[in-house]
């Protein structure tokens, strides 16, 4: 496998010097320093002084783990403080700071927020995805962050899963192609502009079975918020090994070939074991057979699910092949437990040395040892206009027209009156979805951007009247408008909170459509969602229907194609089911009916 990050040294010389540097550094490290490198702590649970004291190797911001105020300069100052603390350790091993930048630097107010992966899958544009990765890296580096837990290369097969929108497609080949493109974009930049990618979640998280998720009493005792009881997220992947390899492991091979040097392990289980304790899949398959030379990091508090006894969790996960433990809360317990396990002989020192060598190798390759003490990249890169223009392009290319009777689309911009209904038409939070500023996302003006309503007002003729009603009440209208636009949306969610047994349109959405339909000659429905929803019984009321997914901050991209400045080019990356019995994907075949719209469908 070729080297990922550019260097002025010839490859052979560079690899030799790196190997020698890792060997030399490892030989001088104490057990405490090695354990510190294997520990990643959430920023709210550790101080910079403790980073120095425990020689911690990585700090992260979880979803919503922001400085106050949540602004770019405050982010840069916060990350710099932790990095400087690591420089003060005995050996000065640099710290790597990680975030979930899964559709842009989405924790930071003012960052460019791109469409979620489900929308990018509809573009089928690997070059665009690579460019988005490059821009995301630029905005991350501006705050000193050099690691993102992305891309998600899950292959979702059950639309009820709350992480469906994090997957590019139900099609393995498309996921592999776009996931590799994202890795290249994040990493194949020059010097200190490169950001470490982290494909996730290895492996089979998109194949879990509805009803197989569970909560863990011993975790809830420590963290009451862990009482999730999610039906499918973090559940059991009930597929045979041939299917697991062909459909779910292959995107990781593509990502590794593209240069991925860190991978996050899945909460899910396969063949009777949690992935975090699955030595066969982590070590035998991924590291030995596939030849992954980077390091494996756990998910948030994920090793705790292995067993009620924390010592057993640590021993089982590290011996299985995990290299770095993400510890959101009690990092001292993790440090002391892993130290004790080595001293007791339950975790071999050779396994510790292998894990730390992998982590150090990546830090050398990323150039962290030569990184300036203070970030030299301008804060003005965050949310830059050129970045927003690429996001706007991504929105345009992600939109999929599923119905367009009587050439309703594109909408003429010189109409006398246009009705616009739905809270989502003028709500950045609903437009962006989950993993935006906060873990779950939220409605409202959470970050700068352009709503669809604002975009429409900016492109129509000065003689066109735009009547907007969030609830669709257009009382007192003397005549029918030529066009009515109804914008529907799912409420923002992330991970298992989005697990949803029934994907039919809500009663409120149906009522909104019913209120607007009598007031317009033609009705266009635009849906913001993290997955296809069941619309079969209502489709006849629409003259046109657009799947807009979760487009992010640049609503102008919708207006660009809605009014004909650009053509619609998006095609479905997921089959659109006709009824709930066609979910999960195998239900499509078992139902004996065609989907409402097949994979790859999209009207031009």
pLDDT of residue 9: 36
Instruction: Report pLDDT for 5.
Output: 36
Question: What pLDDT is recorded for position 224?
Answer: 84
Q: Phi, psi at residue 314, to the nearest 5°?
A: -65, -50
Cα distance between residue 70 and residue 81, in whole Å: 16
Residues written for the chain = 604
Catalytic (active site) residue 495: yes
Model confidence at 20: pLDDT above 90? no
pLDDT of residue 6 exceeding 80: no
Q: At what angle do helices 126-142 and 385-398 cross, to 10 degrees?
A: 150
What is the C-alpha R_g of the chain?
Answer: 24
pLDDT above 80 (res 279): yes
In this predicted model, which residue has the larger pLDDT, 315 or 371?
Answer: 315
Residue 463: CB partners within 8 Å, gap ≥ 6?
414, 416
SS (H, E, C) 64-94: CCCCCCCCHHHHHHHHHHHHHHHHCCCCCCC
Residues whose CB is less than 8 angstroms from the CB of residue 254 and which lie 6 or more positions away in sequence, other chains included = 153, 176, 177, 179, 180
- 13: confidence class by pLDDT, cuts 50, 70, 90: low
* Per-residue model confidence as pLDDT tens digits over 67-117: 999 999 999 999 999 999 999 999 999 999 999 999 999 999 999 999 999
254-to-249, 292, 588 alpha-carbon distances in Å: 9, 11, 28
Q: How much of the chain exceeds pLDDT 70, in percent?
A: 96
Nearest to 569 by CA among 117, 123, 118, 177: 123
Give the per-residue pLDDT at 188.
Answer: 80
Q: Which residues, including other chains, have CB under 8 Å from residue 406's CB and lie 6 or more apart?
A: 522, 543
Which residue in 127, 107, 164 sits closest to 394, CA to CA?
Answer: 127
The DSSP secondary structure of 26-73, one letter per residue, reads HHT--HHHHHHHTEEEEGGG--HHHHHHHT--EEEE-TT---SS--HH
Exactly one of 100, 205, 233, 299 is catalytic; name it: 299
Residue 236: CA count within 13 A, CB half-sphere = 9
Q: For residue 520, what is the enclosing H or E element?
A: strand 520-528
Band (223; pLDDT cuts 50, 70, 90): confident
Question: pLDDT-based confidence at 375, cuts 50/70/90?
Answer: low
Q: pLDDT value at position 403?
A: 98
Q: What integer best gives the mean pLDDT of the chain?
A: 95
Pick from 171, 198, 203, 173: which is nearest to 183 by CA?
Answer: 198
- Give the pLDDT of residue 143: 96
Helix (H) or strand (E) holding 548: strand 544-549
Catalytic option among 495, 543, 554, 560: 495
Residues 6+ apart with CB under 8 A from 485: 411, 418, 419, 420, 421, 425, 456, 524, 525, 526
Q: Taking 50 as the threshold, does the pLDDT of residue 3 lie above it?
A: no
Q: What's the confidence (pLDDT) of residue 2?
A: 34
Q: What are phi and psi of 343, to 5 degrees?
A: -65, -30
481-489: strand order across its sheet = 400-404, 544-549, 520-528, 481-489, 417-421, 465-469
Residue 295 CB neighbour total at 10 angstroms: 27
What pTM value is reported for the model? 0.96
177 is an active site residue? no
CATH number of this structure's domain 382-591: 3.40.50.1700
Return the DSSP state at 246: I
């Amino acid at each position: 496998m070729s080297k990922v990050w550019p260097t002025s040294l010839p490859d052979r010389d560079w690899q030799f010097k790196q190997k020698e540097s890792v060997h030399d550094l490892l030989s001088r490290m104490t057990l405490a320093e090695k354990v510190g490198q294997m520990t990643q702590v959430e920023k709210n649970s550790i101080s910079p002084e403790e980073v120095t004291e425990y020689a911690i190797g990585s700090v992260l911001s979880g979803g919503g783990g922001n400085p106050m105020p949540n602004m770019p300069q405050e982010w840069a100052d916060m990350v710099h403080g932790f990095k400087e603390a690591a420089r003060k350790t005995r050996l000065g091993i640099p710290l790597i700071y990680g975030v979930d930048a899964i559709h842009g630097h989405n924790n930071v107010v003012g960052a460019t927020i791109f469409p979620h992966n489900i929308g990018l899958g509809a573009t089928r544009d690997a070059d665009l995805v690579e460019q988005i990765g490059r821009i995301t890296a630029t905005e991350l580096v501006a705050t000193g962050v050099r690691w993102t837990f992305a891309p998600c290369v899950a292959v979702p097969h059950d639309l009820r899963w709350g992480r469906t929108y994090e997957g590019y497609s139900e099609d393995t080949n498309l996921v592999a192609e776009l996931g590799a493109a994202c890795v290249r974009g994040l990493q194949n930049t020059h010097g200190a502009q490169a950001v470490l990618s982290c494909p996730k979640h290895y492996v089979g998280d998109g194949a879990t079975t509805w009803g197989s998720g569970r909560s863990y009493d011993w975790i809830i005792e420590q963290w009451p918020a862990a009482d999730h009881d999610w039906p499918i997220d973090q559940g059991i992947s009930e597929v045979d090994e041939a299917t697991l390899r062909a459909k779910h492991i292959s995107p990781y091979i593509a990502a590794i070939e593209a240069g991925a040097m860190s991978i996050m392990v899945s909460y899910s289980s396969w063949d009777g074991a949690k992935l975090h304790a699955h030595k066969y899949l982590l070590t035998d398959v991924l590291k030995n057979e596939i030849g992954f030379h980077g390091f494996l990091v756990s998910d948030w508090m994920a090793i705790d699910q292995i067993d009620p006894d924390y010592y057993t969790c640590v021993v089982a996960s590290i011996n299985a092949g995990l290299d770095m433990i993400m510890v959101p809360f009690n990092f001292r317990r993790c440090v002391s437990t892993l130290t004790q396990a080595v001293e007791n002989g339950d975790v071999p020192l050779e396994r510790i040395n292998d894990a730390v060598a992998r982590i150090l190798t990546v830090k050398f390759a990323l150039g962290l040892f030569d990184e300036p003490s203070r970030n030299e990249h301008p804060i003005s890169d965050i949310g830059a206009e050129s970045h927003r223009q690429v996001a706007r392009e991504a929105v345009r290319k992600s939109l999929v027209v599923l119905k367009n009777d009587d050439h309703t689309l594109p909408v003429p911009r010189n109409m006398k009156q246009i009705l616009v209904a739905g809270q989502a038409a003028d709500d950045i939070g609903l437009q962006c979805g989950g993993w935006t500023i906060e873990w779950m996302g939220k409605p409202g003006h959470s970050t700068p951007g352009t709503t669809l309503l604002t975009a429409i007002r900016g492109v129509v003729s000065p003689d066109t009247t735009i009547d907007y009603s969030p609830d669709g009440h257009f009382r007192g209208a003397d005549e029918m408008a030529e066009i009515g636009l109804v914008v529907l949306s799912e409420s923002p969610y992330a991970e298992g909170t989005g697990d949803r047994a029934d994907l039919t349109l809500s009663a409120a959405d149906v009522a909104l459509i019913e209120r607007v339909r009598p007031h317009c000659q033609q009705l266009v429905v635009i849906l913001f969602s993290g997955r296809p929803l069941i619309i079969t019984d209502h489709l006849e009321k629409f003259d046109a229907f657009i799947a807009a997914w979760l487009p992010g901050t640049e609503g102008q991209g919708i207006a660009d194609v809605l009014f004909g400045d650009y053509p619609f080019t998006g095609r479905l990356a997921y089959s659109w089911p006709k009824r709930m019995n066609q979910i999960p994907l195998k239900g499509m075949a078992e139902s004996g009916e065609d989907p409402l719209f097949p994979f790859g469908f999209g009207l031009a």
